[in-house]
Amino acid sequence: MKIALFSSKPYDQEYFEKYNIDYQFDFTFFETPLNPHTANLTKGFDAICTFVNDQLDAKTMSVLAENNIKLIAVRCAGFNNVDLEAAKAHDIKVTRVPAYSPEAIAEHALALILTLNRKTHKAYNRVREGNFSLNKLIGFNLSNKTIGVVGTGKIGAAFCKVLSGFGCEILAYDVYPSEALKEQGVKYVSVEELFKVSDIISLHCPLLESTKHIINKESLALMKDGVMIINTSRGALIDTAAVIEGLSQNKIGYLGIDVYEQEENLFYKDLSESIIHDDFILRLNSFPNVLITSHQAFFTKEAMFEITTTTLENIKAFKNGEELVNEVN
């Protein structure tokens, strides 16, 4: 079975080649992302493997159908970049990796909180330059702070568990509240109440029409002055223009993001010698209280193992005509 893997990085090739020994699929690795302009590269393949920023819209689907692609194996949990209606119309199956390592992303969210709060990134650079001053490095105790968790699926639940040892009050909002989390002391409230009373707000919900720009001018107005906002889910949960305004007006005291609404033009690339033509990311980087990482929250050895092996199992099930337990409908 011939498979084209798009948005390939050296670590993708390393893991897939290592674990493909037991499956013997014929992989071709394309560093380029998949979009309507690169979709012709799929000619001669049976299936494709894609990642978070590949563009699987109706135009791409049409080319895939012409090239007789029957399976899209998405090697991540999110699928907001996939036009499922177009896939269904062309009888193309879509699978995903529903849960590779919730702990990896939860722990990265906590790392953003602690780094922003205690300014360890700034302290590191100061000490390397011989500056041992503590001026402007003051933080706050997480203990007794109110943490608002938007979305309590597997990642949000793991985040609540990680926070439980810090002595925080944990509030949560989810369309489907978790009884298990309630038993652990997590209190479910309306999203408006969560915005109003939380010192720190961490986003762990999927990107849907109902959640797009859930952080916007109106929701920011409800929040405490100096609120900390963390996003390790999807970039479009945040209205970037509104957040920049909130930072400028000191409404937002801290912003930590591992995802960005226009990240497909930036993330996973070395642009250190390039001129970046994204005014929003340049403006965000100008704030001293903003910390940006390039969609690396998932990036642990354990997560890469789960992503790779689950994707291979999804492809194997399709090849053998078995039930696709991770199919996206």
- At residue 100, the pLDDT reads 85
d(CA 163, CA 107): 9
State residue 329's pLDDT score. Answer: 84
Q: Which pLDDT belongs to residue 133?
A: 97
**Structure tokens, 233:** 């889910």
Provide the percentage of residues in the chain whose pLDDT is more than 70: 100
Two structure tokens written together for 288: 């001293």
- Domain 102-292 class? alpha beta
Q: How confident is the model over 283-295, as a mean pLDDT?
A: 97
Identify the pLDDT of residue 106.
97
Catalytic residue among 96, 234, 261, 264: 234
Known active-site residue 234? yes
Asked whether this chain's domains 2-100+300-319 and 102-292 adopt the same fold, the reply is: yes
pLDDT of residue 59: 97
Q: Which residue has the higher pLDDT, 79 or 223?
A: 223
Give the pLDDT confidence of 193-209 residue by residue, as tens digits. 999 999 999 999 999 99
Across 83-120, b (16+ Cβ under 10 Å) vs e yields beebbeebebbbbbbeebbbbbbbbbbbbbbebbbebe
Distances (CA, A) of 172 to 176, 181, 186: 11, 9, 7
* Active-site position among 295, 302, 322, 323: 295
Coil, helix or strand at residue 1: coil
pLDDT (tens digit per residue) in 158-185: 999 999 999 999 999 999 999 999 999 9
**Does the CA dihedral 170-174-180-183 come out positive or negative?**
positive
Domain boundaries, the chain: 2-100+300-319, 102-292
**What value does the mean pLDDT of the chain take?**
96
Work out the percent of the chain whose per-residue pLDDT is above 90.
95
Q: Please state, in angstroms and rounded to a whole number, the distance separating the CA atoms of residues 79 and 52.
A: 7
Reported as a single tens digit per residue, the pLDDT across 90-105 is 999 999 998 889 999 9
Helix (H) or strand (E) holding 11: helix 10-19
Greatest Cα pair distance in the chain: 64
| pLDDT tens-digit readout, 136-159 | 999 999 999 999 999 999 999 999
37 is annotated as an active-site residue:
no
pLDDT for residue 78: 83
The per-residue pLDDT for range 30-75, each reduced to its tens digit, is: 999 999 999 999 999 999 999 988 999 999 999 999 999 999 999 9
What is 189-255 written as a DSSP string? --HHHHHHH-SEEEE-----TTTTT-BSHHHHHHSPTTEEEEE-S-GGGB-HHHHHHHHHTTSEEEE
Is the pLDDT confidence value at 28 over 90? yes
**Interatomic CA distance for residues 26 and 159, integer angstroms:** 38
pLDDT band at 241 (very low <50, low <70, confident <90, very high): very high
Active site residue 295: yes
pLDDT attached to residue 20: 98
Q: Is the pLDDT of residue 77 over 90?
A: no
Q: How far apart are the first and last CA of the chain?
A: 23
pTM reported for the whole predicted model: 0.91
Out of 71-85, 115-129, 234-248, pick the least confident: 71-85
CATH architecture of 2-100+300-319: 3-Layer(aba) Sandwich (3.40)
Pair 228, 101: CB distance under 8 Å: no
Catalytic residue, candidates 96, 108, 261, 263: 263
